């Protein structure tokens, strides 16, 4: 497999080329910066997070993504709690097998129980669940997603825009017309 490569064409007069140049410089040290930034944002928002990346990072996530689609179809009211449990298992408890059924099924059981988890595990290999994940992925690309987290937002005037990255939450809040005027705390960080 060929090594990925980027050729950046610039003109000194372009402010966007200037920004791209600096962004690409950071990409050379992405693993270092990713670790620093994730811990910085976790601290800002008081999100529990392990200091080091889970062993084997990044895991393959196709199976768990299909399982989450199955939950969204069968137990949609439980989806937020399952996602929270999965995130905690991976990013706090360092569950290095979160991408494998053996790693995520016990996490699902804590929220769904054994019977519902078995139903989800059976459903995740069915065509309708696979199609749902493909449709979700295709929709995100059509909306412009190129990384995660991706926020697709529609404001009160009906205008829709996409935003990428946790560092854009303040821009999202402004786009949606949300009040961020508090002097301190969570909203001030936005």
Cα 105-109-113 angle, rounded to 5 deg: 140
Whole-model pTM: value is 0.80
- Mean pLDDT, the chain, integer: 85
Query: What does 20-41 look like in DSSP terms, one character per residue?
Result: HHHHHHHHHTHHHHHHHHHHHH
Predicted local distance difference test score (pLDDT) of residue 186: 53
Q: Is residue 57 part of a domain?
A: no
Q: Are residues 37 and 84 in the same domain?
A: no
pLDDT tens digits for 17-64?
Answer: 666 666 666 656 666 777 888 888 888 888 999 998 899 988 999 999
Instruction: Report the distance separating Cα 77 and Cα 27, nearest Å.
Output: 38
CB 48 within 8 A of CB 42: yes
Q: Are residues 39 and 83 in the same domain?
A: no
Q: Is residue 54 part of a domain?
A: no
Q: Are residues 42 and 21 in the same domain?
A: yes
Question: Residue 98 sits in which domain range?
Answer: 62-141
Q: Are residues 172 and 137 in the same domain?
A: no
The count of domains in the chain is 3
Q: Are residues 130 and 157 in the same domain?
A: no
Q: Is residue 73 part of a domain?
A: yes
Q: Is residue 55 part of a domain?
A: no
Q: Are residues 76 and 135 in the same domain?
A: yes
Q: Is residue 100 part of a domain?
A: yes
Q: 60 to each of 45, 64, 141, 171, how far by Cα in Å?
A: 27, 9, 20, 31
């Amino acid at each position: 497999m060929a090594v990925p490569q980027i050729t950046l064409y610039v003109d000194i007069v372009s402010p966007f080329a200037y920004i791209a140049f600096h962004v690409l410089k950071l990409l050379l040290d992405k693993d270092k910066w990713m670790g620093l930034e994730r811990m910085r944002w976790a601290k800002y928002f008081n999100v529990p997070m392990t200091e080091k990346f889970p062993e084997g990072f990044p895991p393959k996530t196709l199976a768990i993504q299909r399982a989450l689609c199955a939950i969204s179809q069968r137990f949609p009211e439980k989806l937020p709690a399952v996602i929270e449990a999965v995130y905690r298992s991976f990013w706090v408890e360092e569950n290095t097998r979160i991408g494998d059924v053996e790693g995520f099924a016990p996490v699902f059981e804590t929220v769904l129980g054994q019977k519902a988890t078995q139903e989800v595990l059976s459903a995740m290999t069915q065509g309708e669940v696979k199609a749902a994940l493909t449709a979700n992925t295709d929709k995100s690309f059509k909306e412009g997603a190129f990384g995660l987290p991706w926020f697709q937002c529609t404001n009160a005037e009906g205008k829709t825009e996409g935003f990428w990255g946790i560092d854009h939450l303040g821009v999202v809040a402004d786009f949606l017309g949300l009040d961020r005027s508090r002097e301190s705390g969570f909203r001030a960080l936005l």
